[in-house]
């Protein structure tokens, strides 16, 4: 695979407040892990780092209102307008800080950079670990997100005539992304996440399937707390391949927020990064170009290790078996597990597993009963 890792020294300069759970440093940490095991670049094979550019105001306007963008820029400069509070700014989840606007515009531009690279057919895989801000609405911030790069990239590609399949695997439901396309069929949105009964943003239920022209083009698979790799992968295998096949997409947008991991301090799923090795090959085998974005993940070391594993699988550096325990015991900067890129396996058992399976089976059957017939599946 020809692959581009979107990153630069410039983007490493920007940070959220020190007490904020969202750490921009995860992207650089991922690069460092991959570099330490000689899996970051292979220029002979077309696997390289590619520097992002800031999104232009016109590009930001593909989704966001001019009023919101102006208030956002002014807030970042220290001038807080009264309407900023009604736009979601200044909360614990959306703090105001100096780096807010320049970082958000560059991270958003990174996903647009990746979209253009795929449109120009220069790469097969593009990974922007600094992207995935799916909680931002057109005129409101939320959940550490100010500029919704997922929507911007999807609209950019759709406007270029591409059929876009947007697959969000973050533990938090991509509410901003869903809202952007809920009544449209230009982008097929699918979100796998922890149930809104137990996690912000308290939505993304299975019965939210779109409306109007978008009915059947928005799919939510909400998982109960404790969902492990096997259950997650089973749901993925039953739902995603049929939908991908029937939609005939040109490009897949993939958000891989690693707050699905059991070690994440803000979520309640029970997955390990081994689930990536189970599901990512299903996407690469489609032969469709992939624009991959980071998203959540509030255990920085575990997130960076999972993204490193994802990069290796996507690029075809190693087979899934090669990445099990190996890499020669390379030290990856984690105090929990230093034997390689893979996490130790963890599985639900007993009554917990029975509860999880029952819940997930009901959701899968509901989606098959309500969404699949719309597409003649």
Give the residue numbers annotated as catalytic, written as ranges: 173
CB 141 within 8 A of CB 89: yes
SS3 content of the chain, % helix, strand, coil (to 5): 40, 10, 45
CB 169 within 8 A of CB 255: yes
Residue 63 main-chain phi, psi, to 5 deg: -135, -45
Longest dimension (CA), the chain: 56
DSSP-assigned letter for residue 56: P
CA distance to 18, 69, 200, 291, 344, per residue, from 137 (Å): 25, 11, 15, 21, 37
CA distance 53 to 37: 28
CA distance 166 to 150: 8
DSSP-assigned letter for residue 285: T
CA distance 324 to 339: 9
Bridge partners, residue 221, by sequence: 192
DSSP-assigned letter for residue 70: H
Q: Where are the alpha helices (DSSP H) in 26-128?
A: 26-36, 57-60, 66-76, 100-119
What angle is formed at CA 152 by the lines to CA 150 and CA 153, rounded to 5 degrees?
70
Bridge partners, residue 194, by sequence: 223
Give exposure, 155-182, as e/b (b: 16+ Cβ within 10 Å): bbbbeeebbbbbbbbbbbbbbbbbbbbb
């Amino acid at each position: 695979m020809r692959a581009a890792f979107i990153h630069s020294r410039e983007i490493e300069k920007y940070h959220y407040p020190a007490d904020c759970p969202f750490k921009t440093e995860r992207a650089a940490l991922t690069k460092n892990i991959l570099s330490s095991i000689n899996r970051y670049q292979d220029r002979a094979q077309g696997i390289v780092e590619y520097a992002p550019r800031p999104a232009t105001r016109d590009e930001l306007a593909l989704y966001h209102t001019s009023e919101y963008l102006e208030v956002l820029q002014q807030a970042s400069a220290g001038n807080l307008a009264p309407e900023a509070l009604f736009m979601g700014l200044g909360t614990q989840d959306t703090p105001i800080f100096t780096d807010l606007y320049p970082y958000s515009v560059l991270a958003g531009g990174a996903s647009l950079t990746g979209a253009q690279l795929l449109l120009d057919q220069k790469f097969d895989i593009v990974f922007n670990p600094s992207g995935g801000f799916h909680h931002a609405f057109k005129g409101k911030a939320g959940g550490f997100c100010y500029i919704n790069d997922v929507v911007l990239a999807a609209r950019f590609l759709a406007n270029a005539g591409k059929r876009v399949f947007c697959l969000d695997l973050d533990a938090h439901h991509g509410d901003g992304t869903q809202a952007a396309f809920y009544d449209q069929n230009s982008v097929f949105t699918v979100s796998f996440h922890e149930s809104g009964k137990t996690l912000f943003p308290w939505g993304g239920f299975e019965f939210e399937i779109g409306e109007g022209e978008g009915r059947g083009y928005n799919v939510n698979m909400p998982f109960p707390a404790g969902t492990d790799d096997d259950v997650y992968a089973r749901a993925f295998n039953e739902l995603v391949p049929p939908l991908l096949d029937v939609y005939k997409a040109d490009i897949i947008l993939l958000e891989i927020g690693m707050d699905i991991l059991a070690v994440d301090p803000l979520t309640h799923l029970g997955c390990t990064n081994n689930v990536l090795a189970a599901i990512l090959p299903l996407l690469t085998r489609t032969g469709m170009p992939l624009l991959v974005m980071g998203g959540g993940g509030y255990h920085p070391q575990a997130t960076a290790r999972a993204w490193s594993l994802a990069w290796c699988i996507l690029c075809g550096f190693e087979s899934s078996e090669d990445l099990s325990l190996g890499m020669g015991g390379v030290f990856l900067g984690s105090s929990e597990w230093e034997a390689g890129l893979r996490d130790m396996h963890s599985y639900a058992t007993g009554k917990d597993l029975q509860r999880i399976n029952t819940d997930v089976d009901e959701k899968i059957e509901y989606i098959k009963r309500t969404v699949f017939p719309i597409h003649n599946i």
